[in-house]
Amino acid sequence: MTELHDSHEHQDKRRLIAQLARRATALEQKWIVKTILKDLKLSLGHERILRSLHPRAMELYSHSSNLQAVLEAIRKKPDSTADEQKQISGMINNIFFQTIKPMLSFRLSPHRVGGVVDPQPAVPGGEMPPAPRLVLETKYDGERIVAHIDKDAGRLGLYTRNARDYTGMYGPAMQSHIFRSVQGSRAVLDGEMLSYDELAKSFVPFGNNRFVALQLDANQHLCYMVFDILYYSNGEDTYDLRNTPMEDRRKLLEKVIAPIDKIVEVVPQRNINSRDTQQILKELDSAIERHEEGLILKELSSNYACGSRNRGWYKVKPEYDGLGEHLDLVVIGGYWSDTAKRRKQGSTDPSDNISHFLVALLKERVSKHQLSIGVVPMVSPLTKVGTGYNMEELKEMQKRLRGIVFC
């Protein structure tokens, strides 16, 4: 498996997979494939497994995304606790060109905005806690990208929130622009990669980045919208900014980035009164009218916590309150459940073993009379749906499909 991970050539990967298949039993093949697909279905998250191995293992993983390096670090037997802490701190402090897990925003439904951003006294009639100082950002519908820039070495690294290296995909189109925009020699930036259409004068819907990156359409190009800076060097002084309040990071970011219109920009940010819940909701309504995803609220005092979702960043989207757009779709197929939890044990009816659904749009309306005389409506398959419903709702859908599902 290590050889497979380290291999870069397609033919070498095929050879190694063939060797695994020949040597492994059927049961071993099953778990090898599940491991490669990251689909173990153990009802046990990697966070719990790592924390059971070492109290700071998950922290190490969030700062490197390198499982092998984390396991090697926690297996070492230092002479003292102080030596162990020094070793772990050394790994965490090494951020440059490490595939870190970026900081995440706490999902906040619109009806809960007031309780979170405007905390009330701990006891009725008690002293009001200070309101957090908030800023508002647009929630862009792009791809989260952490950029590592070393202008002296001519090196750029672009990594997704899941630590995938997209340098080869976005680098050819963006490296010269990012190098020209960044003032200084080294930096680690956090932002969203989007696609911009010069004719429509708007960002292209999510999902087009890879096509746009090929630069086949002269009217569309990539745009990196930067909202944070984690690390900076001007050639003389170097700063790790993760423990610096966001207010100060933002001031530095605006000095470091020389904007290139609709190619490399700093995400606009404005102050908002955290106690004015109605104003925040009005801003959300305006974002919806502009066909934006939602809002991002950030506390000016927040530090940058890699991999964390509960550190002063909030994401407000209409669908968190069931206010998103709705589509009437037709179920035209299903996929077998790969977990026993989603299957009805002992049942021979195919519907009781389906947990994901293939849904479609009707191409034309068909009346009840037409259906009664055997007219079959034409449909266009749209997507696969496997989330958004609980176990009780799944059982109800399986019940309604019983007797009409054919293999």
Does 334 fall in a domain? Answer: yes
Does 185 fall in a domain? Answer: yes
Tokens of 194: 């989007």
Instruction: Count helices and strands (H / E) in the chain.
Output: 14, 15
Between the ranges 48-62, 84-98, 195-209, where is the mean pLDDT highest?
Answer: 195-209
Using DSSP's 3-state secondary structure scheme, residue 203 falls into strand
Given this model, what pLDDT does residue 87 score? Answer: 63
313 & 208 share domain: yes
Number of structural domains (the chain) is 3
- Quote the DSSP letter at residue 351: G
208 & 338 share domain: no
Given this model, what pLDDT does residue 48 score? Answer: 82
Q: What DSSP line would sit under 281-334, residue for residue?
A: HHHHHHHHHTT--EEEEEETT----TT-SSSSEEEE-GGGGT-S-----EEEEE
Does 147 fall in a domain? Answer: yes
The residue that leads in pLDDT, 158 or 285, is 158
Q: How far is CA 325 from the centre of its chain?
A: 21
Does 407 fall in a domain? Answer: no
Between the ranges 18-27, 255-264, 319-328, 357-366, where is the mean pLDDT highest?
Answer: 255-264
pLDDT at position 122 over 60: no
366 & 276 share domain: no
Does 107 fall in a domain? Answer: no
Q: Is the dihedral of CA 305, 311, 316, 321 positive or negative?
A: positive
Given this model, what pLDDT does residue 199 score? Answer: 93
What mean pLDDT is predicted for residues 101-110? Answer: 87
Does 103 fall in a domain? Answer: no
| Predicted model pTM | 0.70
197 & 262 share domain: yes
What mean pLDDT is predicted for residues 244-263? Answer: 96
Given this model, what pLDDT does residue 320 score? Answer: 65
Tokens of 301: 């005092």
pLDDT in tens, 160-199: 988 888 999 999 999 999 999 999 999 999 999 999 999 9
Given this model, what pLDDT does residue 405 score? Answer: 63
284 & 340 share domain: no
Phi, psi dihedral angles at 136 (to 5 degrees): -115, 135
Using DSSP's 3-state secondary structure scheme, residue 251 falls into helix
Q: What gap in Å lies between CA 95 and CA 189, rounded to an integer?
A: 11
- Window from 37-46, 200-209, 286-295, 395-404 with minimum mean pLDDT: 37-46
What mean pLDDT is predicted for residues 375-392? Answer: 84
What mean pLDDT is predicted for residues 229-256? Answer: 93
The residue that leads in pLDDT, 79 or 239, is 239
156 & 201 share domain: yes
Using DSSP's 3-state secondary structure scheme, residue 362 falls into strand
Residue of 254, 288, 227, 229 whose CA lies nearest to 96: 229
What mean pLDDT is predicted for residues 292-314? Answer: 89
224 & 268 share domain: yes
What mean pLDDT is predicted for residues 348-362? Answer: 85
% of the chain exceeding 90 in pLDDT: 31
257 & 158 share domain: yes
- Window from 16-20, 40-44, 51-55 with minimum mean pLDDT: 40-44
164 & 306 share domain: yes
Q: Which domain holds residue 272?
A: 116-321
Given this model, what pLDDT does residue 265 score? Answer: 97
287 & 167 share domain: yes
Given this model, what pLDDT does residue 78 score? Answer: 62
Q: End of a domain among 321, 342, 377? A: 321
Does 106 fall in a domain? Answer: no
The residue that leads in pLDDT, 374 or 63, is 374
Q: At what angle do helices 26-36 and 10-23 cross, to 10 degrees?
A: 150
Given this model, what pLDDT does residue 62 score? Answer: 78
Count other Cβ atoms within 10 Å, centred on residue 348.
Answer: 7
pLDDT at position 301 over 90: yes
Q: End of a domain among 299, 321, 343? A: 321
Phi, psi dihedral angles at 195 (to 5 degrees): -120, 135
CATH of the domain at 195: 3.30.470.30
Q: What gap in Å lies between CA 272 and CA 132, rounded to an integer?
A: 10
Using DSSP's 3-state secondary structure scheme, residue 191 falls into strand
Q: End of a domain among 289, 321, 353? A: 321
343 & 205 share domain: no
Q: What gap in Å lies between CA 28 and CA 365, rounded to an integer?
A: 50
Tokens of 82: 């102080």
Does 102 fall in a domain? Answer: no
125 & 158 share domain: yes
pLDDT at position 52 over 80: yes
- Window from 88-92, 147-151, 308-312 with minimum mean pLDDT: 88-92
